[in-house]
Structure 1
């Protein structure tokens, strides 16, 4: 039984038993920007519901699993529909609104520290078209989302940073419809991430909501990329979805004078290999994108795709067969000026422009799947990308559901972004403690990533152990990865800045070394001597000493210091110097460049 058949079976079973349907990331439609869509962004009514009164009865049983399936807030009963003798304890039509996309914490003062359940509701109008299919698509909702259309439950999705969708072709009404979400961002031990992170737990519908409109049989998925380390061969596939999967598909790249017609098999899939020459390869210095057109008799989609290869050889990283140093910086999905997640292309372009100004050719998008728009901008602007999932610190390593959740988030990112030339590394986690259970968990993720994509490097941000003045990198996971990549905070969490030049590194793997984090905190605008903690001068001095230390590492091929911009974190409590902000940014929350910015910028300018 293939995944699509399994999904259909589970969907039908859920309808019969009145159970929630879990959405599968593998079912995602490729290239949302290239589709016909109806945006559902805007103002959504909301109700705060810390006791889940709109979901559970007084016996703590879900209303949507009762015999009638009625009784929850998703019924969307308004005062206009009842008389004065009836008791209804909610009314979306008289409730306040929040902007979507956007988190709830930054939009409403009383929700700043709120973690729990909140309901969203949006009315929308559709003029249904014959011979069309409709899919309700969410870019991201943090963390658990129960989705209802016109009072009927579509399903449940877990994962605060991955897209998901439900087909609603048979559920939409011609004219007015309503969609209701119960969103719960409560931190839980067995989820991904777990209860303990070092970033703000922004709740809500944080990315775009769209109604996707397709033909009955349409181009559901495709991959158009250079074959594994073969600069003369474009390899890929096209997958159709619908009842009429027989026929032919045309793949065209006009600028390369490519036009290839291929036949689909019985499952609606067509694989292809196309020999190419005179390709202008994508790189940070030359972020060339080609228009790729895929068409059938009744559907057509276009994409902008770059072609490049990435591999390692000994302690070197090769982009298009040329040695490269990854001049990077780490970035969170957070806007320092308008509190909350990056909401639009302008926010994202600002962050990547700062990275370019710094001299970067590489960014680490930490610690979770970022917005698809961010990856498309990286393609356009010529920034290589380390993409990561929130397997962060201490996960429930022995819980099978936790593993399935992590794998689903990994697969979702790979399947969505496989055509983005900018992504050169898939990361399976950050600073995870070495145990037998953890090793098994992470090794399975590595194997799954390689199965899904054999054209990119697989890595993780490991930890170091210190033995005197020696920093040892000996995590057994390193044997399975393509890079010796690790975080180290010499001069901040261990050692003193003036002494870190004495440290040496004992790295047990003959692989390219990438330092995925280093740095220290500074309050923007606070100035003192270089020994005064939290001053810009102290951070500047720390960067100077760090770079001297790291230059002595044999096989150093890149770095992504922590971090580009200050970001919110409930773990950072000092009332003067932190105030719920992680101050390790080299740009402040007001957009001012700290002194360390210029130290790193000068360092990168002196690397070819």
Structure 2
């Protein structure tokens, strides 16, 4: 018989049993840990050698809304790959290191799953006794694509969507002592309609290895019976107001939200609201604005009250900043930050890793790409057809990098690749496909809404699954009027949204111009160098143009940069260089795929990049 979840059960027998179970688990974990190692012989980052299987990605996974108590469930889990429709396996195939996808080296497995199979996970966990009298939430950072979850044989939830976090209240399913968590995942990669970015079943060129299953942190969190589920932060620079909406799990007018805005330990502004209304806080007259040159963040303390009783409390942060557009004295529509012209300039960032695929081997590695981008003199990153873990966006917030966020593409047939970008023909999706696109795009926007660094939403890229462009763009703009919308980066162009986005390889060209919107260069460059010591594969490497040394690559980069300067004066208001790193057989990166070599002269590139970023402020 299942003993219900009751922390008040506390006798000598239970205590001895718990200690015995803990001892067995520690011995088992130590034994398997000694056997775990990365799979395969591909190149790896330096962080791959630093992984501790008992302490994988230990950082708090949701810095925009933080509580003090939580439990990380990353580590070694049992796994099995079974045909679709089979029941939970009686025996497992081995162990997998969560949260690395099963196809990755760092999972310790490196196996394909495919649409005919399902991936099963299992692990045990215990709930700390000090969490009694709380609800227990089970959080997943991201699982690609369809996840079914059981706790102690009780179905606790299902989620579809490979890029956004989700959670379940698992309290009724818990028992004292050991609990068993089982997850089943199905993903068809490029055989279905779901968004999947650059993943394909047959990787080549600009298309990469599939990612299946859990690929972000799994964790437990205790919360009060009435608690804050989400927060939505909106700055208004013109009115000098910061709006903070705390969304609770219970719609009750009795609850009051109090927000304190802090600089260090000093409270600089406060506000309160009831009836689930946003707290509108008047900021100090000497408010500090966020920008790439000065990425100032205010700490937030958000408290939920019932009278004088504190129900819940979370820590967050916010920035005062404004994204907008304005016509300059030459009639060119320019992007603005805080009501000043700013040329957005940064790399196309795919967010792939040779050892972890979608998952960086450590938080230091995740932050490294952001830091290196800033050190190279850029002020922006276009996050290309992928969504990152929450901590990546916090790194951008802290270091002062504007983010253009793509919707991961999907539902694209081979013949659609060959269509011209300007023929005015749009793909017709099935009702199921369209509904899923809208669901996942809204979830992505909700997930990232409060991060100050997000400046531009990009729902489509190069006609990859592009449909109902006007309708989707207008909905995106209406749903979040605080940001700019790039309707189709390099795709089928329609007079909607805030930008006309051109793609041109390798050298920049201004071949179309929009006098009513900002004209931007969404992709250019792709200067390749296949450095022999840092290749995913020794042969089969690909680049838009190929060179053989750092000096040659840097010279070509500077040549394109000087051409770009002239085109900015003629009408470009932003540009995206391809790309941050090499990815698999694509060798167009400023860095090698293993992040061990910066392929350009950093000083020369930084100098010209800073000139470009500041060109409109002179």
TM range (shorter): 0.7 to 0.9
Please tell me whether the aligned partners of residues 487 and 498 of structure 2 are also in contact (alpha carbons under 8 angstroms): no
- Normalised TM-score (structure 1): 0.75
Residues in 1 aligned to 2:322 and 2:71: alpha-carbon distance in whole angstroms: 36
How does 1:397-476 map onto structure 2 within 5 Å? Answer: 397-432=428-463, 438-440=466-468, 442-463=469-490, 475-476=492-493
2:9 aligned residue: none
2:183 aligned residue: 181
**SS in structure 2 of the partner of residue 238 of structure 1:** strand
Residues in 1 aligned to 2:544 and 2:272: alpha-carbon distance in whole angstroms: 67
How does 1:356-367 map onto structure 2 within 5 Å? Answer: 356-367=374-385
Distance 1:234 1:200, change over 3 A: same
Residues in 1 aligned to 2:111 and 2:601: alpha-carbon distance in whole angstroms: 31
Distance 1:186 1:597, change over 3 A: farther
CA displacement at 1:598 relative to structure 2:
6.3
CA displacement at 1:383 relative to structure 2:
0.9
CA displacement at 1:289 relative to structure 2:
0.9
Per-residue displacement from partner, 1:357-409 (whole Å, max 9, x unpaired)? Answer: 21111111111221100001111111111112113583774222222222222
Task: Pick one of 272, 293, 296 that aligns with 1:288.
Answer: 296
How does 1:460-539 map onto structure 2 within 5 Å? Answer: 460-463=487-490, 475-477=492-494, 479-490=495-506, 504-520=510-526, 522-525=528-531, 533=546, 535-536=548-549, 539=553
1:355 aligned residue: 373
Is 2:38 the partner of 1:34?
no
Task: Pick one of 367, 385, 388 that aligns with 2:406.
Answer: 388
**SS in structure 2 of the partner of residue 551 of structure 1:** helix
1:232 aligned residue: 240
2:94 aligned residue: 96
Residues in 1 aligned to 2:348 and 2:483: alpha-carbon distance in whole angstroms: 19
RMSD of the TM alignment (CA)? Answer: 3.0
Residues in 2 aligned to 1:97 and 1:313: alpha-carbon distance in whole angstroms: 55
Residues in 2 aligned to 1:234 and 1:517: alpha-carbon distance in whole angstroms: 34
Please tell me whether the aligned partners of residues 258 and 273 of structure 2 are also in contact (alpha carbons under 8 angstroms): yes
Per-residue displacement from partner, 1:470-509 (whole Å, max 9, x unpaired)? Answer: xxxxx443x2221222322246xxxxxxxx8xx6522234
Residues in 1 aligned to 2:474 and 2:175: alpha-carbon distance in whole angstroms: 44
Is 2:557 the partner of 1:543?
yes
CA displacement at 1:261 relative to structure 2:
2.4
Residues in 2 aligned to 1:145 and 1:376: alpha-carbon distance in whole angstroms: 26
**SS in structure 1 of the partner of residue 481 of structure 2:** coil
Residues in 2 aligned to 1:562 and 1:33: alpha-carbon distance in whole angstroms: 35
Distance 1:535 1:114, change over 3 A: farther
CA displacement at 1:433 relative to structure 2:
6.0
Residues in 1 aligned to 2:297 and 2:406: alpha-carbon distance in whole angstroms: 24
CA displacement at 1:153 relative to structure 2:
2.3
**SS in structure 2 of the partner of residue 148 of structure 1:** strand
Out of 288-297 and 503-512, give the one that drifted further.
503-512
Distance 1:339 1:127, change over 3 A: closer
Distance 1:481 1:598, change over 3 A: farther
Distance 1:349 1:399, change over 3 A: same
Please tell me whether the aligned partners of residues 217 and 245 of structure 1 are also in contact (alpha carbons under 8 angstroms): no
Distance 1:448 1:518, change over 3 A: same
Out of 252-261 and 274-283, give the one that drifted further.
252-261
CA displacement at 1:317 relative to structure 2:
1.3
CA displacement at 1:339 relative to structure 2:
5.6
Residues in 1 aligned to 2:142 and 2:298: alpha-carbon distance in whole angstroms: 28
CA displacement at 1:585 relative to structure 2:
0.9
**SS in structure 2 of the partner of residue 181 of structure 1:** strand
Distance 1:397 1:139, change over 3 A: farther
Task: Pick one of 312, 321, 324 that aligns with 2:325.
Answer: 312
How does 1:45-444 map onto structure 2 within 5 Å? Answer: 45-49=78-82, 51-52=83-84, 55-56=85-86, 72-73=87-88, 90-92=90-92, 95-107=93-105, 111-115=110-114, 116-127=117-128, 129-187=131-189, 188-193=191-196, 198-227=207-236, 230-242=238-250, 246-255=254-263, 257-263=268-274, 265=275, 269-276=276-283, 277-296=285-304, 297-314=310-327, 315-336=333-354, 341-391=359-409, 394=412, 397-432=428-463, 438-440=466-468, 442-444=469-471
**SS in structure 1 of the partner of residue 451 of structure 2:** coil
Distance 1:548 1:254, change over 3 A: closer
**SS in structure 1 of the partner of residue 162 of structure 2:** coil
Unaligned runs of 5+ in 2: 1-60, 201-205, 305-309, 328-332, 414-426, 534-542
Residues in 1 aligned to 2:502 and 2:67: alpha-carbon distance in whole angstroms: 37
Higher relative contact order (CA 8 A, sep 6+): 2
Per-residue displacement from partner, 1:216-257 (whole Å, max 9, x unpaired)? Answer: 001122223213x52512224222213765132211114463
CA displacement at 1:422 relative to structure 2:
0.9
Per-residue displacement from partner, 1:253-293 (whole Å, max 9, x unpaired)? Answer: 14463222222x2xxx1223233222101111111111111
Residues in 2 aligned to 1:110 and 1:259: alpha-carbon distance in whole angstroms: 51
Distance 1:226 1:109, change over 3 A: closer
**SS in structure 2 of the partner of residue 242 of structure 1:** coil
Distance 1:486 1:370, change over 3 A: farther
Residues in 1 aligned to 2:166 and 2:384: alpha-carbon distance in whole angstroms: 20
Residues in 1 aligned to 2:259 and 2:108: alpha-carbon distance in whole angstroms: 51
Please tell me whether the aligned partners of residues 298 and 319 of structure 2 are also in contact (alpha carbons under 8 angstroms): yes
Matched residues, number: 502
Distance 1:35 1:198, change over 3 A: farther
Per-residue displacement from partner, 1:281-313 (whole Å, max 9, x unpaired)? Answer: 111111111111111221111112111111011
Is 2:600 the partner of 1:604?
no
- Normalised TM-score (structure 2): 0.74
Please tell me whether the aligned partners of residues 526 and 545 of structure 2 are also in contact (alpha carbons under 8 angstroms): no
Distance 1:361 1:331, change over 3 A: same
